């Protein structure tokens, strides 16, 4: 196995400079260095020699010889990849800030390598360092939660979460098989198979009340889609709002906003959880209502009627 | 902005959910939460959004406002949008 495409790309980018500095190594030695089999490394080399600079003629391709009987690898023409990487000040600053953010994102990434890369960049960045220190990277995930998630991902263990969900106004305890962490819009989200829901779920880590690593091995289904931190493709719901509820335009990520002279209007909200929307509308006393889809409009009406009847039953 | 000091107490029966209300309750006895509050409109909204899972027992004016609020939701969702 050569791992994921991202792992392979990372290895390929590191391969040519390393081989340039270690010309004459054997395929087995190079494979050991990168932690892959000799077959995988040989496939990488066949791919690398098909890469090069624009033009892609014979003179622009990376030239590495590795097919002789002695299995030695000799870099003939690395096509600039042997040169040290040069960053502009803005690039170095952006990279430093990115590294600092990544260091705070939970996950099984190599924190030693992150710290080392950060230190080297800080040392090399010169005046760019001043700019990067002017940017404060604030962690959204509490340290104890981050450590538990790190451990569960690194050891492949089940996590027990006590989670304060935003959509159902309830605290639940659930065991999840963690798959990874995605960072979006300033928040970290755990992508996991939730054993309570029996489905893939994302958990915003600043809403995790506590997390503990269980001894059970994590076994998430292999065919799950990559997680998306926010539901960019939720069900579109057309809402009507009165002037007294015009705050929704700023508070929620609304689309197709149609403002009326009265101060109210209509807008579309993409909703991942119907129950959340029903609760939102129930709490607004008619200031926000569902226009479409009709079945959701009826769902709100039924919920309001049942609640109303409860008062009629118990005056 | 600092939250105003509670000036009254409501008794709310909650069957399930209602974490926000439970966190604010000074006591919970047999499913009835005693909730200190200052902002009546906010309390009405918090109870109404729980639908049939919650019911205000007292005071009666808060109870009436929740009923009115639910009636308004129902009215807004009956007939053509």
* Residue A135: pLDDT band with limits 50, 70, 90: low
pLDDT value, residue B1: 41
State the Cα–Cα distance between residues A260 and A257, nearest whole angstrom.
Answer: 10
Residues of A in contact with B70 (CB under 8 A): 282, 285, 304, 307-308, 311
Q: Which residue has the higher pLDDT, A313 or A186?
A: A313
Tell me: pLDDT of A225 over 70.
no
User: Do residue B73 and residue A164 have CB atoms under 8 angstroms apart?
Assistant: no
Nearest CA in chain A to B70: A304
Which of A95-104, A135-144, A224-233, A255-264 ranks highest by mean pLDDT?
Answer: A255-264
pLDDT value, residue A247: 80
State the Cα–Cα distance between residues B56 and B67, nearest whole angstrom.
Answer: 9
Q: Which residue has the higher pLDDT, A226 or A252?
A: A252
Interval A199-220 mean pLDDT: 86
Closest-CA distance of chain A to residue B5, Å: 23
Report, as ranges of residue numbers, the positions in chain B whose pLDDT lies below 50. 1-2
Report CA-CA distances (Å) from A225 to A187, A196, A200, A269, B46.
20, 19, 9, 24, 36
User: Do residue A306 and residue B51 have CB atoms under 8 angstroms apart?
Assistant: yes
Render pLDDT for A105-123 as a digit per residue (tens, 0 to 9).
777 667 788 888 888 877 7
pLDDT value, residue A119: 81
Q: Which residue has the higher pLDDT, A53 or A258?
A: A258
Report yes or no: B48 at the A interface, CB cutoff 8 Å: yes
pLDDT value, residue B9: 95
Range list of β-strands (E), A185-262: 187-194, 199-204, 208-217, 235-241, 254-259
Q: Which residue has the higher pLDDT, A161 or A109?
A: A161
pLDDT value, residue A286: 95
ipTM of this complex: 0.94
The closest CB to that of A307, out of B17, B46, B51, belongs to B51
Between A128-142, A255-269, A290-304, B54-68, the lowest mean confidence (pLDDT) is in A128-142
Tokens, residue A98 = 């990115």
* Residue A189: pLDDT band with limits 50, 70, 90: confident
Tell me: pLDDT of A233 over 60.
no
Residues of A in contact with B76 (CB under 8 A): 240, 286, 289
Residue of A267, A274, A286 to mutate when probing chain B, most B C-beta within 10 A? A286
Report yes or no: B42 at the A interface, CB cutoff 8 Å: no
Q: Cβ neighbours of residue A73 under 8 Å, at least 6 residues apart?
A: A19, A23, A24, A25, A26, A27, A30, A45, A64, A65, A66
pLDDT value, residue B2: 44
Instruction: Give the three-class secondary structure for A244.
Output: helix
Q: Cβ neighbours of residue B74 under 8 Å, at least 6 residues apart?
A: A301, A304, A305, A308
CA A222 to the chain's CA centroid: 18
pLDDT value, residue B73: 97
Q: Which residue has the higher pLDDT, B77 or A249?
A: B77
pLDDT value, residue B50: 93
Interval A19-40 mean pLDDT: 89
Mean of per-residue pLDDT scores for chain A: 82
Phi, psi of A212 (to 5 degrees): -135, 140
Between A73-77, A90-94, B22-26, B31-35, the lowest mean confidence (pLDDT) is in A90-94
- Work out whether strand A187-194 and strand B32-37 pair parallel, antiparallel, or are unpaired: unpaired
* Of residues A164, A163, A166, A137, the one with CA closest to residue A252: A166
**Can you spell out the DSSP letters for B34-81?**
EEEES-HHHHHHHHHTTGGGEEEEE-HHHHHHHHHHHHHHHHHTSS--
The alpha-helical segments, DSSP class H, found in chain A are 5-21, 27-34, 38-48, 89-104, 111-125, 128-133, 143-155, 247-251, 274-282, 294-313
Interval A132-149 mean pLDDT: 73
User: Do residue A307 and residue B72 have CB atoms under 8 angstroms apart?
Assistant: no
Tell me: pLDDT of A88 over 90.
no
Interval A23-36 mean pLDDT: 90
Tokens, residue A138 = 């604030």
């Amino acid at each position: 196995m050569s791992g994921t495409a991202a792992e392979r790309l990372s290895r390929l980018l590191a391969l040519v400079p390393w081989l340039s500095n270690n010309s004459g190594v054997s395929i087995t030695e190079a494979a050991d260095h990168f932690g892959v089999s000799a077959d995988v490394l040989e496939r990488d080399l066949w791919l690398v020699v098909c890469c090069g600079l624009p033009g892609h003629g014979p003179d622009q391709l990376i030239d590495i010889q590795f097919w002789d009987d002695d299995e030695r690898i000799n870099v003939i023409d690395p096509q600039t990849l042997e040169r040290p990487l040069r960053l502009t000040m803005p690039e170095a600053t952006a990279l430093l800030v990115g590294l600092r953010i990544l260091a705070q994102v939970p996950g099984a990434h190599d924190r030693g390598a992150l710290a080392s890369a950060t230190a080297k960049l800080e040392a090399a960045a010169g005046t760019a360092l001043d700019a990067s220190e002017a940017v404060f990277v604030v962690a959204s995930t509490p340290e104890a939660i981050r450590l538990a998630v790190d451990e569960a991902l690194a050891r492949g263990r089940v996590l027990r979460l006590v989670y304060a969900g935003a959509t159902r106004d309830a605290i639940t305890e659930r065991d999840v098989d963690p798959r990874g962490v995605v960072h979006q819009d300033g928040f970290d989200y755990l992508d996991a198979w939730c054993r309570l829901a029996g489905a893939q779920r994302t958990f915003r880590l600043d809403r995790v009340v506590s997390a503990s690593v269980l001894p059970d091995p994590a076994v998430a289904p292999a065919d799950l889609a990559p997680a998306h931190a926010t539901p960019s493709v939720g069900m579109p719901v057309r809402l009507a709002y009165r002037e007294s509820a015009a705050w929704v335009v700023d508070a929620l990520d609304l689309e197709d906003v149609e403002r009326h002279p009265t101060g109210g209007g209509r807008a579309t909200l993409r909703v991942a959880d119907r129950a959340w929307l029903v609760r939102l509308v129930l709490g607004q006393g008619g200031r926000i209502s569902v226009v479409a889809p009709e079945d959701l409009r009826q769902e709100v009406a039924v919920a309001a009627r049942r609640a109303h009847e409860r008062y009629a039953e118990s005056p | 902005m600092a939250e105003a000091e509670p000036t009254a107490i409501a008794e709310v029966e909650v069957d399930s959910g209602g974490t926000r209300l439970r966190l604010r309750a000074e006591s919970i006895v047999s499913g009835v939460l005693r909730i200190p509050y200052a902002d009546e409109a906010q309390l009405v909204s918090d109870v109404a959004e729980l639908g049939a899972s919650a019911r205000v027992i007292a005071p009666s004016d808060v109870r009436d406002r929740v009923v009115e609020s639910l009636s308004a939701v129902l009215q807004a969702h009956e007939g053509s949008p």
